[in-house]
Every structure is written in C-alpha cells, then in structure tokens.
C-alpha cells in the first residue's frame, strides 16, 4: 500500500512539473505582446504555486496519518516489551 502512495505522489509531482513547463512553453511561443505575456506568466505561475501548495498540504496530511498509525503499534510493542525487559534486568542483577 505504501508503494502505491509513493508511485501516485511521484506521478502527481511529475504531472505538476510537466504542466508547468508545458504551459510556460505554450506561453513563450504564443504570439502575444510583452505585457500580455507577462500577465499570463504571472497568472499561470500563481496557479502552479497554488497547485503545489495544495499538493504539499495533502502530502503533509497523509504523512501525519501514516505516522499516527505507526505510533499506535509502537506503543503497544513498548508496553509488551517493558515487563520482559524488567524481568531480564532482575535476572541479570540476581546473576551478578
């Protein structure tokens, strides 16, 4: 499942970057005045920045969920291991 998320994230990142460069190339080769071109570049740049921010927020939220899900089993393992560790320490102390 984690492999699926990584593949999707890489695909979305590549899609975002490809969209940006494709839009930039289209704007640069389109017959527009300098003022129109600058305005269009500014608008497209703003759109790409918004998309990147949204992508980052979603990735951050997913990472938080994954960490929370991993934290629960780690706590359970710690609770199970502590009594065994204490028992081993007592045996070691008795032997020494």
**71-88 per-position pLDDT tens digit:** 888 888 888 888 888 888
pLDDT at 8: 66
pLDDT at residue 40, rounded to an integer? 81
Q: Please report the pLDDT score of residue 3 as a whole number.
A: 45
* pLDDT for residue 7: 58
Rounded CA separation 6/42 (Å): 31
Structure tokens at 18: 């490809």
pLDDT at position 2 is 44
Q: Which residues of the chain have pLDDT under 50?
A: 1-4
Q: What is the pLDDT of residue 25?
A: 81
Asked, for residue 50, whether it belongs to a domain, the answer is: yes
Residue 1: the pLDDT is 42
In a domain, 96, yes or no: no
Is residue 24, in this structure, part of any structural domain at all?
yes
Q: What confidence score (pLDDT) does residue 39 get?
A: 85
Rounded CA-CA distance 56/49 in Å is 10
Q: How many CB atoms lie within 10 A of CB 31?
A: 6
Average pLDDT over the chain, rounded to an integer: 81
Q: Does 48 map to a domain?
A: yes
User: What's the total number of domains in the chain?
Assistant: 1
Please report whether residue 12 resides in a domain.
yes
> To the nearest 10°, the Cα dihedral for 54, 52, 13, 43?
130
Dist. CA 96–CA 80, nearest whole Å: 25
Q: Which domain does 36 fall in, by range?
A: 2-69
Of residues 8, 6, 17, the one with CA closest to residue 51: 17
């Amino acid at each position: 499942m984690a492999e699926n998320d990584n593949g999707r994230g890489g695909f979305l990142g590549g899609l975002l970057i490809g969209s940006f460069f494709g839009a930039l190339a289209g704007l640069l080769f389109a017959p527009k005045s300098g003022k129109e071109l600058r305005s269009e570049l500014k608008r497209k740049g703003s759109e790409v920045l918004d998309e990147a921010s949204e992508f980052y927020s979603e990735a951050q939220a997913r990472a938080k969920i994954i960490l929370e899900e991993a934290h629960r089993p780690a706590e359970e393992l710690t609770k199970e291991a502590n009594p065994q560790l204490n028992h081993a320490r007592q045996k070691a102390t008795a032997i020494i």
